[in-house]
Amino acid sequence: MQHRLLTIGRLLTIGRLLTIGRRAPKRGPARRRSALLVAVLTLWAPLQARADAPGLRLVVVDPGHGGANEGAPARFDPGRFEKHHTLAIAERLAAHLRAAGVSVVMTREEDRELSLKARIGLANRLAADVFVSVHLNATERAGPVGHETFFLAVSATDEAARRLVAFENAEPTAVAHAAGAGLPEADAVQDILLDLTRQRAHGDAGRLAALIQDRMTAASPFPNRGVRQAPFFVLMGAAMPAVVCEIGFINHPREGRFVVSPEGQIAIARALADGVLDFGRLVLAPRQVHEVSHVPTP
């Protein structure tokens, strides 16, 4: 909504500048043309940047784990953990999205502990269009390989997803209780509206997961494990499409090297960004055009 108003505001400003140009005959046509050129160039730059990322205003990127919550150990980067690599990939992802004209807020920008509730709470408070949580997978015994994208479900689709979600949902109790989810205390009507928002967001999350998974499959030399569903705490209460990307197994003999390498992380971050941008263009942008066309004219 804010983004639409911003765009309308910009167009009104262009209109006003054009009017000023017309109402200033003393300036002469050359002067008017240059004033117009400056106005168009000034206003065109942000419009053009946004043209790369239709439908998207703000994305919240969540690097999994942090602080004492280290995640899985990086088998091929001794002494470092999942938390270090999720941050590195998230930073690259954020840079790609920003370059396409999207505002990005990261849930953490350094190695610090943050509750799962606080992460999605931040996205809700900011009314983000999309929430992407970045993780690396691991198993007790190395073997499984590939990337998968999750969205929320009440129960896990299978035993592997159940084990994964138990690992990802684990966090120190003190941290879990320290932060609120940021959802407003709502009356009954607001509750219903929020439920409808979440229902639509949940349906969209499936599309978002599929588009990210497509891009990951094109970018990763490892198997596509598909779109799956599980009860991730970090996705609960999301008022926007929200996904957990398990971008590869950090303890697999080959994939474990790929996901901690700069080349691997560059390819993965690009794929995640492209999936999010696809979602904005294919799902959100057409809906916004439709909604704008139904605004009554005065």
Q: Which amino acid is at 219?
A: A
Stretch that binds Zn ion, among 25-33, 57-65, 231-239, 254-262 (CB under 5 A): 57-65
Q: Write each residue from 118 to 147 as x if it is in contact with Zn ion (CB under 5 A), else as -, in one continuous string.
A: -----------------x------------
| SS3 assignment, position 132 | strand
Q: Tell me: does residue 248 bind Zn ion (CB under 5 A).
A: no
Residue number with the smallest Cβ distance to Zn ion: 135
Stretch that binds Zn ion, among 59-67, 211-219, 223-231, 283-291 (CB under 5 A): 59-67
Closest to Zn ion by CB, 157 or 197:
157
Q: Report d(CA 268, CA 90) in Å as an integer.
A: 10
CB 213, min distance to Zn ion, A: 17
Q: Write each residue from 62 to 81 as x if it is in contact with Zn ion (CB under 5 A), else as -, in one continuous string.
A: --x------x----------
Closest to Zn ion by CB, 169 or 217:
169
Using an 8 Å Cβ cutoff, are 247 and 93 in contact? no
Q: Which of residues 165-224 bind Zn ion (CB under 5 A)?
A: 168
CB 150, min distance to Zn ion, A: 11
CB 83, min distance to Zn ion, A: 8
Q: Report d(CA 54, CA 135) in Å as an integer.
A: 26
Per-residue CA distances from 147 to 47, 213, 218 (Å): 35, 8, 11
Per-residue CA distances from 39 to 8, 20, 237, 250 (Å): 16, 11, 43, 51
Using an 8 Å Cβ cutoff, are 272 and 147 in contact? no
Is the Cα dihedral 157, 161, 162, 167 positive or negative? Answer: negative
Which residue, 103, 107, 160, is CA-closest to 134? 107
CB 249, min distance to Zn ion, A: 11
Closest to Zn ion by CB, 124 or 133:
133
CB 151, min distance to Zn ion, A: 16
Instruction: Give the phi and the psi of residue 198 in degrees, each rounded to 5.
Output: -70, -35
Q: Report d(CA 235, CA 138) in Å as an integer.
A: 20
| SS3 assignment, position 26 | helix
CB 161, min distance to Zn ion, A: 13
Closest to Zn ion by CB, 259 or 271:
259
Q: Which of residues 88-117 bind Zn ion (CB under 5 A)?
A: none
Closest to Zn ion by CB, 70 or 214:
70
Using an 8 Å Cβ cutoff, are 57 and 2 in contact? yes
Residue ranges in contact with Zn ion by CB under 5 A: 64, 71, 135, 168
